[in-house]
Structure 1
Amino acid sequence: MMWLLLVCTMVAAVGPVLPHNIDKALHRERESDGSFASRADEHSAGGPHDSDFDHESILGSSKDAEEFDHLPAEESKERLELLLIKMDTNADKIIDSKEMYNWIMRSFKMLSKEESSERFEDTDEDGDSFVTWQEHLKETYGIEHPDDVGHQNMDQGKDTTRMMAEDRQLFTAADKDGDEKLNEHEFLAFSHPEEDETMVPLLVDHAMQEKDTNQDNKISFTEYIAGQQGVEHDDEGLLAEKDRFDEDYDKNMDGELDLVEVRHWIVPDNQETATSETEHLFANADDDEDGVLSFDEVLSHHDLFVGSEVTDYGDHLHNLDRFDDEL
């Protein structure tokens, strides 16, 4: 157990996480180990399965999911049936697991676009349909002028300095046309880099720069656990993290994470999440256990898929054409 004593010593030396006055809306939810949280993890936080996640997985919009929660049951069923027609790509009046999986993957893309669009609107201060680096600094870090960056770094510490440097690299990488500003499409890559294949290598590089303290191009368990800033583990917690490191991340079982394993660690697997969600929905709605969902089965479990409530409702959900864009 010598490694446990060594790890405890290194973890105790780690400083605080992030200054509280930084707007973390851009910096997507992270796990304690620094990896990006999957959509399922953002909702469940280790607890029971969250119905909001089910609804967003079908509707592809947190706004629409909330709106459905205020629909009369019959209205909810009517609109859900319209979605089923689009989901049922072979028009056999049955939803198989592949159709459900593809629909959920489409929903994840739509959710990312919705989140990014909201963030884009908040950050585009002058309303010119572009986000500049200066606008990002002001919205996220509260920095009014570029000349203030040095003073801000001194006030907020090395974590802010690192975050700003990483943001700058991501901003430049997302700026495909090199015009020093991001349109809404480029901003999506900037705000959700873990979902853009061209951005993922930069995320891996950031993880290595932060955690690979001996610069051997691998991450040991000691480096992995020491990088969990602001988290205090007792012996039991450290053993649980060691098991997670060995079983979930160290695929070749050599005691360290190489670059491929680091990628799998820090970037959530949307395909795996969509598969798990498909299995969850089928387990709760496939009443006759024939491996497919009839329209009637889905509609009889409409609260599982989209929710409802007897109250007033809005009109924007009538626009279902947007679902065609991602199919």
Structure 2
Amino acid sequence: MRLLIDIIYSALVLLAIGVALAIPKPDEKDKKDRVLDNDLSDKEHYQNEGHNAQYDHEAFLGEEEAKTFDQLSPEESRRRLGVIVDKIDGDKDGLVTQEELKDWIQYTQRKYVTDDIQRQWQSHNPEGKDKITWDEYKQRVYGFMDDLDPKELEKDEEGFSYQNMLRRDRRRWDVADADGDSALTKEEFAGFLHPEETGHMRDVVVLETLEDIDKDKDGKVSLQEYIGDMYRGSQGEEEPEWVRNEREQFSAYRDKDGDGFMDQEEVKNWIIPPDFDHALAEARHLIYESDTDADQKLTKDEVLAKYDLFVGSQATDFGEALARHDEF
């Protein structure tokens, strides 16, 4: 979510400053978790007053599979889309229902999380032990800090601080550490990496979100801070329509007690909306956009006719040689 980007979803995998497992800055890392409860993509669904098909692309395929489709030619990605439609059609009646589409979207999201946990567990635990200690994780991810000048660890002009990231990761680690032994099992590590998937972990992400947006550190989010988290226009520039809409959303729905701020509970209601099913909402959206005969079901032809909506890839003709999956 929009939010915290890979606090949002990944707890940082990085080894040293010059190594690819390097720690991203908060504006890269911290947006993915802005809206939790299994938001389906870290992209904005509506952007610059228009619909952002990349959100649907990732929601429908899952983040990793979407990257694969982005490298395929239009012809190959259409062929694969047809194969996927056959998989979604569980009862093989030639029609994709809202329920079948919702189940598919939930499956892609679970697969992304499961695969990411397995990949990071193996990366951080090459010896295959039952637990990873905090000291082991800290050394692997933050060990490079030992060689930095202390000034490099403090906040830069953008407010970024390695020390703050280390502190926040330790706090999240402690919340995930159910038995308090400073070491995480694979299940506990999953909660550390993907707190949006673990009920008792969600409050820490709410706190992280509040800390990121609350620039004056008064413990609450003002309208200015809320808008500033999403939009930084040039002085004198007219605000886009979507920004004006967000101002109205803040006053009408986010700031429930009308005091001009969001407190921690109001931030929680924003990023973890109760009783909202993202997969169902996305399934309804995709059917609405694609259902030409208005029967609330999709044929393969209807899906393929909306190819850009479902797989909207940034396809080139140079991608067909990339890794293929057996199911295709």
Shared fold (TM-score, shorter chain, > 0.5): yes
* Paired residues of 2:290 and 2:303 also in contact (CA < 8 A): yes
Deviations 1:149-179 (A, max 9, x none): 9x85884149634432221121122234545
Aligned-pair CA distance for 1:99: 2.3
In 2, distance between residues paired with 1:58 and 1:230?
A: 27
1:292 aligns with 2:294: no
**Greater radius of gyration (CA):** 1
In 2, distance between residues paired with 1:304 and 1:209?
A: 35
1:134-145 residue pairs with structure 2 within 5 A? Answer: 134-143=135-144
Q: Quick one: which amino acid aligns to residue 169 of structure 1?
A: R
Which one of the candidate residues 242, 250, 255 is aligned to 1:250? Answer: 255
In 2, distance between residues paired with 1:80 and 1:270?
A: 31
The number of residues matched between the two structures is: 290
- Unaligned 5+ segments in structure 1 are 1-20, 321-327
TM-score scaled to structure 1, two decimals? Answer: 0.65
1:317 aligns with 2:325: yes
1:1-327 residue pairs with structure 2 within 5 A? Answer: 23-24=23-24, 28-30=29-31, 35=34, 39-42=40-43, 46-47=47-48, 48-62=50-64, 64-71=65-72, 76-77=77-78, 79-122=80-123, 124=124, 126-128=126-128, 131-143=132-144, 152=150, 155-157=153-155, 160=161, 161-206=163-208, 211=214, 219=220, 221=222, 224=225, 242-267=247-272, 271=276, 273-306=278-311, 312-314=320-322, 316-319=324-327
The alignment-based identity, stated in percent, is 27
- Unaligned 5+ segments in structure 2 are 1-16
* Paired residues of 1:96 and 1:291 also in contact (CA < 8 A): yes
Aligned-pair CA distance for 1:198: 1.4
Greater helix share, 1 or 2?
Answer: 1
Q: Quick one: which amino acid aligns to residue 42 of structure 1?
A: K
198 and 60 in structure 1: CA distance in 2 versus 1, 3 angstrom threshold: same
In 2, distance between residues paired with 1:51 and 1:239?
A: 22
In 2, distance between residues paired with 1:287 and 1:104?
A: 21
SS class of match (2:31) = coil
273 and 127 in structure 1: CA distance in 2 versus 1, 3 angstrom threshold: same
* Paired residues of 2:41 and 2:63 also in contact (CA < 8 A): no
* Paired residues of 1:29 and 1:42 also in contact (CA < 8 A): no
Aligned-pair Cα RMSD in Å = 4.6
In 1, distance between residues paired with 2:166 and 2:231?
A: 19
In 2, distance between residues paired with 1:226 and 1:272?
A: 25
Greater relative CO (CA pairs within 8 A, separation 6+): 1
SS class of match (1:317) = coil
SS class of match (2:43) = helix
In 2, distance between residues paired with 1:152 and 1:125?
A: 29
In 2, distance between residues paired with 1:106 and 1:135?
A: 32
In 2, distance between residues paired with 1:283 and 1:296?
A: 15
Q: Quick one: which amino acid aligns to residue 93 of structure 2?
A: D
Q: Quick one: which amino acid aligns to residue 154 of structure 2?
A: Q
* Paired residues of 1:194 and 1:268 also in contact (CA < 8 A): no
45 and 77 in structure 1: CA distance in 2 versus 1, 3 angstrom threshold: closer
Aligned-pair CA distance for 1:100: 1.6
TM-score scaled to structure 2, two decimals? Answer: 0.65
In 1, distance between residues paired with 2:152 and 2:25?
A: 23
